[in-house]
Structure 1
Amino acid sequence: MSTNYKRFYTKAGAMPAGISEGYPVPGPQTADADRIATSAFFTTDWAQAQATPYDFIVIGTGPTAVAFIDRVLARNPQARILVLERGGYWLPVHYQMLPAAFQATSSPCTTYPWTRSTAMATTGSKFFQAGYIPVLGGRSTYWSAWCPAPEPDLMRDWPQALVDVTRKPGFWDSARAFLHVTTADRIDDTVYGSLQRQLDTNLRENFKRFVPSAEGAFPAPMAVGHSEWQGVKFYKYSTVGALLGLQQRQQALADHGHGQELALVDQCIVQRLLHDGQGTVTALYTSRGPLSVGNVRIVLAMGTIPPATLLMNSFGDQLPNIGKRYTGHFMSHVIARVKRSAFKDLAALELGAQYLHGKDEQGLQYHVQVSAFASSDPAGDAATIAYEAPDAAAVASMAQLTGSEDYVVFVCATLGEVGENNPDNWIRPNGGPDPTTNITVQLQAGPREQHLWDVLDEATYQTIAALASRGSGATPEIEYWIEGGAPEQGFWQTRRPGKQQIRLPIIVHEASSLWIGEDPATSVVGLDYRPHGVRNVYVTGGGLFPTSGSWNPTLTMCGLAQDLAERLS
């Protein structure tokens, strides 16, 4: 029997000593995803992790963590890296890439490691902050994957030195390559085809005329490519495969003396950073026990709010500005349709995706994400639509597509930025006993945000008209989806829906909790990505953003994580 063939059917070390392939007694009869993944990928010997000298400890397994690790190991395969993940193994890929039945998991177990203030929960827009998914890969297993690159003028109040980082040759290209970013007009897989091209033309020719507040429009850039699978046009990116691929590559290099193993430890919650009072972290206090740091550099890649919580609990008054800024994006959601006859030569099933951005008179930013659906057989096309929808959170429902066989349906998610200067928006410790959740958050839309919300709602309707209008011809009749008592009870009408229907009480793309700046008096993190006065801790993610803008943040976050890796390696 060949070695490979035998390895396919057996797993060394999976059975107790003395029992081998069913002799002299049957071996274990159970298996689960955690056990399989642990056997293949994860370090289970905590004592060994405690005793091993590392160069870096990376906390988190989302996009910025993997962007950092990928760049460090590309420059130095001998770098010794320990990765700590608070959750376990759940999905191998983005859930859209799985069989259609996995659409039932579109609302995964989400954690909210904070308490909303009474004002946030009960007054105004009654916002809730989008939560976290505590598994390998985090929210990258469910994200929308839109990846625009902001121009420097959209980085309001960012330090010039940081803006200049994004202007370095190759900065955006490197981040796009890591995330496999592909613009919707380059997918061209028959599902993205004629409709996509006509939407490109209509929006390019019409947006300045139809949307006075708009500043740019283009085919949606999305993380949906695959660098290794030939012929695959749409494959939504998540960090799980990338991280485990790095682990396997490093193992192969280590086996031949050309690199170091990448150590992954799951089910490990970092609760505090223990330090010497002079800014040097000496140990991590975790749910698995303490971990001595030594000369390790620690990289916080845990999102936006969890690293703020960790630093608050660890350094207290030494970092007094943490949480004094709390920004993000609020959202409206409009669904409309126009007759297929507004377009030429459409196939039975076609999708499209467009992106438009603009500002109000105050300079606050918004952007419109448009997903377009044309299906002459909604029931038969359901699996393909679920697989290739630009945004899994903004898909035309079966109720909306049924009866729209002769229409193109537009699903628009429009995001506006929360300004950074509202003193009523903050993150603060509340004295609770659990150091991973003992904070209170408060974010509300002030008068400036309310004005922006009006502007972006109008811009959404104008964008739909621009997409549906060909050349200088008349705009076709537009109908809007009105929710009924239940989703399947909705209906179409030509009158626009009310604000209460389209405005969602959710904050996404949270940012600014650990904003970066040169002056310790007016920022939290320095230009070298270290919290001011802290020597061996580095921060990644949206918490660094001084202002959130309106653009989807992941491409920028990954580019900055790659820059951090360049500096440290």
Structure 2
Amino acid sequence: MKKNDHSANYNYGFPTPGPQQPTGQDVMNHVFFTTQSDWKNIRETEQFDFIVIGSSFCCLAFVERTLTKNPFVKILILERGEFFLPEHFQNLPLPYKQTLGGLSETYPWTLSKKTTEGEYIKWQHGMLPFFGGRSTLWSAWCPRPTKEEMINWPKEVIANAHNYFATAEKLLNVVPTDQIDSPIKNKPVYGVLQKEIQQKLAKNSFKIKEITRTFAAPLAVKTPDVVDLDFSKFSVPGKLLEIAEKQKELFKKGEGALVHIVTNCLVNKIIAQGNCPTALDTSRGIVSIGDAKLILAMGTLPPTTLIQNSFPKLENVGKRFTSHFVSAIIARIPRAHFDFAHEVAELELGAFYIAGVNPERGHEGQFHIQLTALSDKNPSKNIKTALINMPDVVASATKEQLLTSKDHVVFVCATLGELDYKNKQNWFSKNADLDPTTNATLQVIANTNDMKVWNSMDKTTFETLEEILSPKGKKMVEYWDTKTENWEEQRPTSKSYRVPALVHEASTLWISDEKDEGVVDVNYKLKNIENVYVTGAALWPTGASWNPTLTMVALAQHLADNLSK
């Protein structure tokens, strides 16, 4: 479609001045997204093969895979928010770190009063209502779960995920931290510290019965093949716009179809006749679905609300909820205690994934430690570089911690554990709110199984630091105390390091191969509803503890292949 670049007012100020108050969103709409005139034509005349709601990881995975197979497929992408960040905040100048949390995160649900009264768990992290979704503000950890770690999942889904892990890793540029920038010397990346701590964990993890495996953290990075650039995080906006631009060029040559991306378009409801969707009620008017297949790529809880309002008779929707509870423990050990201390450069990082289980619950009680090691001999000089290159955004070392630890290795542990998926007190249900995009209540109540896992993962974190990592034992480990804001010899209290916010919400539309179980079938289609397909962690039968993005992308790619046949 033509953009409005030939009108008089866009022609260098002749015969009249051009627009004097364009916004950033106006510019993005003019160049990349759908203009008002485009939108009118889309609603009145266009027919699509797929309509994708949402613009983050699963959207990218589905769209990229589909168009690689057939560039003539017609795709419409509807994003509720507007353009916010062009790429991951850690790749931008340092002040952009302030965009993490706060107003960048929205909560389209109401918490139950019981949830807010929990001893440790108080709330669930929200969603990012912008183009690219959470991809501009995520940690980028992308482990491959083992078959054992996908316990209680349909065997067919496990097999499909494993068949697509390699292609998902390729799309996300997943690189283990022991392979990032390895040819470069004197870089703030993963060198001696990474190698030595990794070996320590590999040789000694057997000492702690809860640990099942350890390995270099697999991170989604922006430029894995360019060895003379600093480490940077992967995000969706640039990749998705590249695809749209490529399709535009193919369209001009008659070799493909345009991808239409519509921002500021909130889908209120799927209008249906019987079990067949016919239109979308959006904040920008009604959109006819026609013969298009509808792909929900909008996170976990928003699509659940959409389905509850659109298909109220569907069973099991929102009756299961899982997520990850978090402990954030920060410790330090004198650098001189390590026999490799003299080899460590001025600034080095290491990142490691340590998986474990509660011995009593086995793989139904999983947790993992996202361990970051940081050695900075000159924090005043390197603080900016260190913070930009931090591998984790859930828990990272602060400026104060680094400035007081120039002779230490700082270890930042973000430890994640799974909620019991069988807990009937956890649910996401429709309420009486008149707004169909927020009329849901979330309840999360920790049970005894959750506390068993939480106790195990905290115990394992402390033992890893004191018995595996510290060369001179636990007495030489100091912990950061959030109350005194200082390093202390004793372990902090659980109240100080157990985070009240959950992450990685999942399971509200869980996938099942059983007729009366779950909400979605093994082909990712809503049960008893035509042409509506679900992506993302809402599909998870169990939450486990592993970071979900790689598996989300793998299954979205599999869905794309299924629907392209």
TM-score (norm 2): 0.94
> Once the 2 structures are TM-superposed, how far is the Cα of residue 163 of structure 1 from its aligned partner?
1.3
> Once the 2 structures are TM-superposed, how far is the Cα of residue 474 of structure 1 from its aligned partner?
5.6
In the TM superposition, what whole-angstrom CA distance separates every residue of 1:505-531 from its partner, at most 9, and x where no partner exists? 111101100000122411110011011
CA spacing shift, 1:281–1:401, aligned 2, 3 Å:
same
From 219, 239, 248, give the equivalent of 2:216.
219
1:55-94 equivalence runs, <5 A: 55-94=49-88
> Contact (CA 8 Å) 1:108, 1:133: kept in 2 or not?
no
- Equivalents in 2 of 1:147, 1:430: separation in Å? 35
> Contact (CA 8 Å) 1:182, 1:225: kept in 2 or not?
no
**1:172 and 2:173 correspond:** no
> Contact (CA 8 Å) 2:222, 2:235: kept in 1 or not?
no
Instruction: Report the number of matched residues.
Output: 548
Paired residue secondary structure (1:504): strand
Could you say which residue in structure 2 is the equivalent of 1:286? 282
> Once the 2 structures are TM-superposed, how far is the Cα of residue 231 of structure 1 from its aligned partner?
3.5
From 148, 156, 180, give the equivalent of 1:153.
148
**1:250 and 2:247 correspond:** yes
Paired residue secondary structure (1:61): coil
CA spacing shift, 1:18–1:335, aligned 2, 3 Å:
closer
- Equivalents in 2 of 1:566, 1:384: separation in Å? 41
1:282-431 equivalence runs, <5 A: 282-317=278-313, 319-343=314-338, 344=340, 345-360=343-358, 361-363=360-362, 364-431=365-432
> Once the 2 structures are TM-superposed, how far is the Cα of residue 18 of structure 1 from its aligned partner?
5.7
One-letter amino acid of the structure 2 residue matched with residue 23 of structure 1: F
CA spacing shift, 1:64–1:47, aligned 2, 3 Å:
same
- Equivalents in 1 of 2:461, 2:391: separation in Å? 17
CA spacing shift, 1:229–1:255, aligned 2, 3 Å:
farther
In the TM superposition, what whole-angstrom CA distance separates every residue of 1:360-396 from its partner, at most 9, and x where no partner exists? 1212100000111111221221221122100123221
- Equivalents in 2 of 1:526, 1:239: separation in Å? 28
> Contact (CA 8 Å) 1:338, 1:476: kept in 2 or not?
no
- Equivalents in 2 of 1:230, 1:260: separation in Å? 35
One-letter amino acid of the structure 2 residue matched with residue 99 of structure 1: P
In the TM superposition, what whole-angstrom CA distance separates every residue of 1:524-553 from its partner, at most 9, and x where no partner exists? 100110111111000000010100110000
5+ residue gaps, structure 2, are: none
> Once the 2 structures are TM-superposed, how far is the Cα of residue 227 of structure 1 from its aligned partner?
5.6
- Equivalents in 2 of 1:193, 1:155: separation in Å? 32
Segment of structure 1 superposing worse, 14-23 or 155-164: 14-23
Paired residue secondary structure (2:8): coil
- Equivalents in 2 of 1:396, 1:291: separation in Å? 47
One-letter amino acid of the structure 2 residue matched with residue 425 of structure 1: N
> Once the 2 structures are TM-superposed, how far is the Cα of residue 31 of structure 1 from its aligned partner?
3.3
In the TM superposition, what whole-angstrom CA distance separates every residue of 1:258-283 from its partner, at most 9, and x where no partner exists? 10011000000011111111x11011
One-letter amino acid of the structure 1 residue matched with residue 372 of structure 2: S
> Once the 2 structures are TM-superposed, how far is the Cα of residue 214 of structure 1 from its aligned partner?
0.5
Could you say which residue in structure 2 is the equivalent of 1:134? 129
Paired residue secondary structure (1:316): coil
Could you say which residue in structure 1 is the equivalent of 2:119? 124
Segment of structure 1 superposing worse, 489-498 or 559-568: 489-498
1:253-268 equivalence runs, <5 A: 253-268=250-265
> Contact (CA 8 Å) 1:207, 1:466: kept in 2 or not?
no
In the TM superposition, what whole-angstrom CA distance separates every residue of 1:172-191 from its partner, at most 9, and x where no partner exists? 11010111101110113522
In the TM superposition, what whole-angstrom CA distance separates every residue of 1:77-99 from its partner, at most 9, and x where no partner exists? 01000000000001110000001
One-letter amino acid of the structure 2 residue matched with residue 62 of structure 1: S
Could you say which residue in structure 2 is the equivalent of 1:481? 480
> Contact (CA 8 Å) 2:115, 2:121: kept in 1 or not?
yes
5+ residue gaps, structure 1, are: 1-10
> Contact (CA 8 Å) 1:42, 1:263: kept in 2 or not?
yes
> Once the 2 structures are TM-superposed, how far is the Cα of residue 17 of structure 1 from its aligned partner?
2.1
TM-score (norm 1): 0.93
Could you say which residue in structure 1 is the equivalent of 2:30? 39
> Once the 2 structures are TM-superposed, how far is the Cα of residue 230 of structure 1 from its aligned partner?
6.1
Could you say which residue in structure 2 is the equivalent of 1:458? 459
One-letter amino acid of the structure 2 residue matched with residue 565 of structure 1: A
**1:115 and 2:115 correspond:** no
- Equivalents in 2 of 1:511, 1:452: separation in Å? 18
> Contact (CA 8 Å) 1:480, 1:492: kept in 2 or not?
yes
Paired residue secondary structure (1:65): helix
> Contact (CA 8 Å) 2:367, 2:457: kept in 1 or not?
yes
> Contact (CA 8 Å) 1:147, 1:554: kept in 2 or not?
yes
> Once the 2 structures are TM-superposed, how far is the Cα of residue 462 of structure 1 from its aligned partner?
1.6
From 498, 512, 517, give the equivalent of 1:517.
512
> Contact (CA 8 Å) 2:140, 2:220: kept in 1 or not?
yes
Paired residue secondary structure (1:436): coil
Could you say which residue in structure 2 is the equivalent of 1:4? none
In the TM superposition, what whole-angstrom CA distance separates every residue of 1:77-128 from its partner, at most 9, and x where no partner exists? 0100000000000111000000112122222521100001110112333420
> Once the 2 structures are TM-superposed, how far is the Cα of residue 346 of structure 1 from its aligned partner?
1.0
Could you say which residue in structure 2 is the equivalent of 1:6? none
In the TM superposition, what whole-angstrom CA distance separates every residue of 1:316-338 from its partner, at most 9, and x where no partner exists? 01x11011100010010100000
Paired residue secondary structure (1:120): helix
CA spacing shift, 1:259–1:402, aligned 2, 3 Å:
same
CA spacing shift, 1:19–1:366, aligned 2, 3 Å:
closer
- Equivalents in 2 of 1:36, 1:229: separation in Å? 31
In the TM superposition, what whole-angstrom CA distance separates every residue of 1:405-457 from its partner, at most 9, and x where no partner exists? 00011110000000111110001111210000001010111000011111000
- Equivalents in 2 of 1:552, 1:362: separation in Å? 20
> Once the 2 structures are TM-superposed, how far is the Cα of residue 476 of structure 1 from its aligned partner?
7.1
CA spacing shift, 1:230–1:458, aligned 2, 3 Å:
closer
- Equivalents in 1 of 2:106, 2:498: separation in Å? 23
One-letter amino acid of the structure 2 residue matched with residue 375 of structure 1: D
- Equivalents in 2 of 1:479, 1:259: separation in Å? 60
CA spacing shift, 1:234–1:88, aligned 2, 3 Å:
same
CA spacing shift, 1:467–1:266, aligned 2, 3 Å:
farther
Could you say which residue in structure 2 is the equivalent of 1:237? 234
**1:272 and 2:263 correspond:** no
